[in-house]
Amino acid sequence: MYSKPVLLVIAHGSRDPRHAATVHALVRRVRSLRPGLRVETGFLDFNIPSVHGALESLAAEGVRDVVALPLLLTRAFHAKADIPAVLRDAPPQLRIRQAEVLGPSPLLLSALERRLYEAGLTPADKSSTGVVLASAGSSDPEAIAVIADIAREWRHTGWCAVRPAFASASLPRTEDAVRELRELGCARVAVAPYVLAPGFLPDRIARGAAEADVLAEVLGPAPEVARVLLQRYDAARRPALAAVGA
């Protein structure tokens, strides 16, 4: 009898307890959106269960099909190297498909705007507000280019201006982008962290936003983010669905 693959959400992990708490809150929201789907979590580092431990547990239960979903916003080193390496060491009886990373997605732009409105902005403020799209940063040129593309796309939705910024590995920093938007003449400046959970780099973004008028929360368990997870899961299992005529 055909059964749905288990969704294994693969998070980075952090020494900061807020990180795992946010990941678990997001997973709970995914489960609430699709009650018939089994969703588990594994961490690459710092937290338990590890990805390997989660896969071994699933195999021991008799699970055979898994969709491994990187809880990442860009396709950088973790998605290209770390996660595939861990999945190659999975128990051999598991059939694993690696889903795409979450970004870019129009739903994530909606989640960013949700966080800005929750922080006090309104749609009427858009034309006079400059936004810093503040990401963790990466040494991967593809990931940096994606952030720049998202900023350009978001600008076309009515904001005064949108500038990308990075907490590590790349420039500009959040505080520099805030100053640039001031110099452009935006009436107010808002910082939108393009990160999924609190931690060291999001804290650096927050410090860089000291001179901004508005600092939004991280994306966290926003409903739009949960919907993106389900979209990536469905896309990953589509070939199997076609094979069984589902």
Per-residue pLDDT, 3: 81
Q: Which residue, 121, 134, 123, 135, is CA-closest to 188?
A: 121
CA distances to 117, 152, 222 from 156, rounded to whole Å, are: 18, 7, 23
pLDDT at 77 over 90: no
CB atoms within 10 A of CB 25: 13
pLDDT tens digits along 182-228: 999 999 999 999 999 999 999 999 999 999 999 999 999 999 999 99
For the CA atoms of 161, 167, 168, 170, what is the dihedral angle to 10 degrees?
10
d(CA 83, CA 51): 9
CB atoms within 10 A of CB 178: 26
pLDDT tens digits along 102-134: 999 999 999 999 999 999 999 999 999 999 999
pTM: predicted TM-score of the whole model, two decimal places: 0.94
pLDDT tens digits along 37-75: 999 999 999 999 999 999 999 999 999 999 999 999 999
Q: Is 169 left (phi over 0), alpha (psi -120 to 50) or beta?
A: left
pLDDT at 239 over 90: no
CA distances to 21, 84, 120, 168, 234 from 79, rounded to whole Å, are: 22, 7, 34, 18, 18
